[in-house]
Amino acid sequence: MSVPKRPGSGEPWPVRLYTRTAALLPREYRDRYVHEAVADFARIHAEAEAKRGRWAARGVAVWGLLDLWIRIPAEHWDHWWSRRRRLRLNELRPTGGGGGAEMMRTWWKELRLATRALARRPGFTGVATFTLALGIGAAVAIFTVVNAVLLRPLPYPDSEALVSVRHHAPGLDLPELTNSPGTVRLYRTQSRSFSGFAVFGTESRNLLVGDRADRVRVTAASPELLDVLRVRPALGRPFTHEDAAEGAPPVAILTWPAWTSRFGADPAILGRSIEMDGQTVEVIGVMPEGFAFPTPEPIALVPTYVDPDGRFGEFGLNALARLEPGIGVEAARQELTDLQARIPELFPDIDAAFLEQAGWNASVERYQDRIVGDVRSALWIVLGTVGFLLLIACANVANLFLVRAEARHKELAVRAALGAGRVRLAGGYLSESLLLGLAGGVLGMGLAALGVSALVASGPAELPRLHEVRLDGTVIVFGAALSLLAGLAFGALPILRYLSGSFARVLRDGSRGTTVGRERHRTRNALVTVQLALALVLLMGSGLMLRSFAQLRAVDPGIEPEGVLTVALSTGDARDNATRAAFYQQVVEGVAALPGVTSAGAATSLPVLPENTNGSSFDIESRPRDDSDLPPVAMYDWVAPGYFETMGIPLISGRSVERADHEGGRPVLWVSESFATTFLDGSALGERVRFNDHEPWQEIVGVVGDVRNFGLKEDIRPVAYLPMVVEGVSREELARMIVVARTEGDPAALAPSVRRVVTGIDPRVPLTDTRTMKEVVSASMADTAFTMTLLGIAAGVALLLGAVGIYGVIAYVVSQRTREIGVRMALGARSGDVQGMVVRQGLRVTVLGVGLGMIGAFALTRVMATLLFGVSATDPVTFGLVPLVLAGVALLASYLPARRASHIDPTEALRAE
C-alpha cells in the first residue's frame, strides 16, 4: 500500500491538510494520482501565495480539496464508463510528470469558463442565485435559532449533568409545583444522585443609583448555585452560608453587564454599598464576562435563605442540581420517586393517604430541556418547513438548469464525438452549479443575518435563550454545507439526464425544428410536481396555524381590553401592607382624576398572563371536610377599588370593592362565577372561606365573571379576589401592584401623565412594564402568532416559487412547440383549442402535485397537533380551501403562456422553421 509521506512541520497547513486528506482515499487513487498531486498542489499553493497573497492561496486549497475528492473518483468512473462502452477515448492522464498540475489547470480553466458562461446570462444567473438565496437564507436563519435554543449546550462546564427537580400533584388540580424548604432538605440529606443541589428564583427589586430609581431583576440563589454551575466570580468572592443565614447583612454579586454599564467597570466596586429595596447592600463580587444565567437578564445575584428545618409546604423554590458522575437522568428520577415514600416519615404532619390522593410525585429532567419546554416541537416544525422551502428552491433552479442543458444537448454530443470525456462535460455543469450554489449561499447568509436580527427583535419574550441567538461558526458551516449540497443537487440532474445516455441519436437527429418528445419533459414536469406538492404541504401548515390564531382571537378573555393602560409599580421597601395599600390607593385616585380617564384600579396580577398568579388550598366554613379528603384549590389575587369596573369584569351578584374594605381590614372577598359553581353550587354570597388555618374566615360579598388568568389557551380556573388589606393576613406580594386605567382616547398616550402622578407622590418608586391591555392580550398569543408568521412567509414564498416553476415549464413547452402550434393553427385550430391544449398540460401537473401534496399533508400536519388550538390537524376548511388556492394559482400560471401560444402567427412560426 502506498501512502503519501507525512509532511514536515515546516509545511504550510493547507499542504498538510491536503496530504492527510489524500491518505483517506482508496489505494487505487493514491497509487495513481496522489504523490504527484501533493507535489503539484504544494507548488501551485506556494506560487499563488507568492503572487496573489494568502487569501488566494487559501482559495487554491479549497478548490484543491474539491478536486481531490470529486475529480479523481469521477474520472475513475469515466474511465470505467468508456471501457464499458468500448469507446476509444484518450487516456485519463499520464502516469508521468505533470498530471497533477494539468488536473489543477483544467479545473481552474473550467471554473473560469463557468464564470464567463454565467456572466453572459445575467437573467438566468440572477434568478437562480436569488431563488437559492431565499431557500438557503430561510434555512440558515431558522437553524440559527434552533442551534442557539436546542442544540448549543448551556454555557456552563459539563452542562449535560445539570437537571431540574419539580413535583406534580394532579389530584390537587394545581400547576406544576417547584420545591419547598422541606423537599430541599429531603434531597440534600437523602439523595445519592446529586453532587450539588441549589435553589434559585427571579425577583424584582428597586435599585437606587444616585437619584435614579429603576426596577431591576435579580437572581436570588442559595450559596450552592455557583458550585453547581461550576462558575466563579471574576472579581471578589462567591456567597457563603453565612451570607445566606437568616438576618445576615445583605450582599450581592453584580453581573458583568451591570458592572460595566451602571458602575463604569470600577474595580473599586468591591466593598461598595448600593441601595436595593431601601436596604444597603454590599457588593462582594462581579461575575465573569459572558456569564448568563438562564433567567431574564438579572443585574445581580443575591443570597436567599432556605430554612434547614423547613416545612414540606410553602412551595416556590426552583431547584437546579448536578448529577453525580455516572448517574443518568432516569436513575435520578427513580431515586426521587422512591424517596417520596419517606415523606410521611420525615414530615409527620403530612399524611400518606393525602399524598396518594394527590397523585404526588417528583420529576427530574435535563435543565436545558426544562428551559426549552414546548418551544422544541415548534422550532423543529418551522425548521422542517424551511427545509421544504429549500427543496422547492433547488427544484426551481434544477428546472432552469435542465432547460439550459436541453438547449446545449447537441453541442455536448458534438464535443463528445470529438473526444471529450463525459467527466469533462459534467465538469462544466458542476462548475456552474457550484458557483451558483456559492453565490446563493453568500447572498443567503446575508439574508439570514437580516432574518436573524428580525427574529430576535420580533420574537416572543417567552422564547428561551433568545439573547443567545447569533450567527456563529456552526451556523456558517451549516450554510456552507447547504450551499455545496444544493449546488451538487441541482447540478447533478442535467448530468444524469443528458450525459448518461447515448449521444448517437442526438447526432442522427439533424432537424433543428423537431418537436421535443414527451420523454424530454418528464424530468421537468416531475420537478414541478414535487414543487407543487411541497408548496401544498407548507400552505396546509400555514392555513392550520392561521385558523388556530383566528380561533384564539375569538376566545373571550373575560375582560374588555380596549382602551386600558397597565402600569406596574413596586414600593420596594419595608413598608407594612397598610402603608402600601394607602400608597396604591392614592395613585389610583390620582390616575382616575386625569383628563379622559373614566375609571382606575389595581391588582397584583393581570388576566391572560400567569405572572404573579397565586394558588392555594382553602376551607369552606359551611362544608367541613375530613382530614383524609383533598382540599379544594383556587387562584387568588389582591385588588383595589375600581379594578373590576376598569377591566370590564361584570359583577354578577353582591357588591364591588370599596375603599373601606382595605382601610378597615375587613375580612371579605369576591369570587369568580366558576368558583361559586364549582365549590358552592352557585350560592356563594354570605359563605365564608379561609386560605390558611391561622388566618380569619373571610365572607364572600360578591361574585364576578370568569377571567382566563392563565392564558387564552388554558381552561378557566376558579379565582378569589381579596382586598389589599385584611386584618390578620400579611402577604409579601402586595409589594408589587399593577395600576390599570380606562381612557376614552389612546391608552398609550396616558403613560406620561401616570408617571407624573406617581412621581408626585413618591419619586423613589419606578414604573415598569407600561403596556396597554391589548398588548398584554397579544403577548399571550405571541408564540402562536410567531409560528404562524414564520410558516406563512415560508408558504407564501413556496407558492410563488411553485407558480414560477409551472409557468417556466409551460412557457418553455410553448417555445419548443411553436412549429407544431403554427401547423395546427394553419390547419384551422382555434385560439381556444390551443389554449385548452396548453392549459391541460399544466392541469395534469397541477392535479398530480395537489394529489401528492394532499397525501403528504394528511401525514405531516399531524405533527403540528400540539401547536394547534380549536382546530384539528385535518381541519376540513383548511383541507378544502388550500388545494383550491394552489390549483387556481397554478392554472393562472399555465394560462399566461397558453394565451401567448394562442396568438402565435402560423406564417411567422413556419417561416422561422
| pLDDT tens sequence across 878-909 | 999 999 988 888 888 888 777 777 776 666 55
Residues 548 and 871: their CA atoms lie apart, in Å, by: 6
Residue 889, CA distances (Å) to 99, 127, 351, 807, 810 in order: 54, 20, 67, 10, 14
Cβ partners under 8 Å of residue 267, min gap 6: 235
Strand 719-723 relative to strand 668-672, pairing: antiparallel
628-648 burial by CB neighbour count: b if 16+ within 10 A, else e? eebebbbbbbbbbbbbbbbbb
Query: What is the structure's pLDDT at 905?
Result: 65
Cβ partners under 8 Å of residue 633, min gap 6: 172, 173, 174, 615, 616, 617, 618
pLDDT digits (tens, 9 = 90+) for 178-236: 898 999 999 998 999 999 999 998 888 888 777 677 888 899 999 999 999 999 999 99
Residues 292 and 371: their CA atoms lie apart, in Å, by: 13
Residues 891 and 898: their CA atoms lie apart, in Å, by: 10
Query: What is the structure's pLDDT at 97?
Result: 40
Instruction: Find the angle CA(304)-CA(305)-CA(310) to the nearest 5 degrees.
Output: 140
Residue 724, CA distances (Å) to 18, 565, 627 in order: 75, 21, 31
Query: What is the structure's pLDDT at 645?
Result: 94
Tell the burial category of 218 from Cβ atoms under 10 Å away from its Cβ (0-12, 13-18, 19+). buried
- Which of these, 541, 616, 383, 559, lies nearest to 862 by C-alpha position? 541
Do residues 132 and 393 make contact, with C-beta atoms less than 8 angstroms apart?
yes
Cβ partners under 8 Å of residue 255, min gap 6: 286, 287, 291, 298, 299, 300, 301
Terminal Cα-to-Cα distance of the chain (whole angstroms): 61
C-alpha cell at position 120: 453572459
pTM of the model: 0.74
- Which of these, 651, 653, 655, 682, lies nearest to 668 by C-alpha position? 655
* Coil vs helix vs strand at 23: coil
Residue 72, CA distances (Å) to 33, 107, 108, 700, 830 in order: 8, 11, 15, 86, 56
Give helix 831-860 / helix 782-816 axis angle, nearest 10°.
150
Residues 591 and 229: their CA atoms lie apart, in Å, by: 46
- Which of these, 758, 785, 802, lies nearest to 869 by C-alpha position? 785
198: which strand partners? 320
Low-confidence ranges of the chain (pLDDT < 70): 1-10, 22, 24-34, 52, 54-111, 113-114, 174-175, 211, 294-296, 404-429, 461-462, 493-521, 573-574, 610-613, 627-628, 730-733, 813, 815-819, 826-827, 904-913
Q: What ranges in 263-366 are assigned the alpha helix state H?
A: 329-339, 343-346, 352-358
> 8-12 — which CB contacts under 8 Å span 24+ positions?
11/42, 12/45, 12/46, 12/49, 12/57
What value does the CA radius of gyration of the chain take, rounded to a whole number of Å? Answer: 36
Query: What is the structure's pLDDT at 285?
Result: 94
Query: What is the structure's pLDDT at 283?
Result: 94
Phi-psi region of 818 (alpha: psi -120 to 50; beta: other; left: phi over 0): alpha
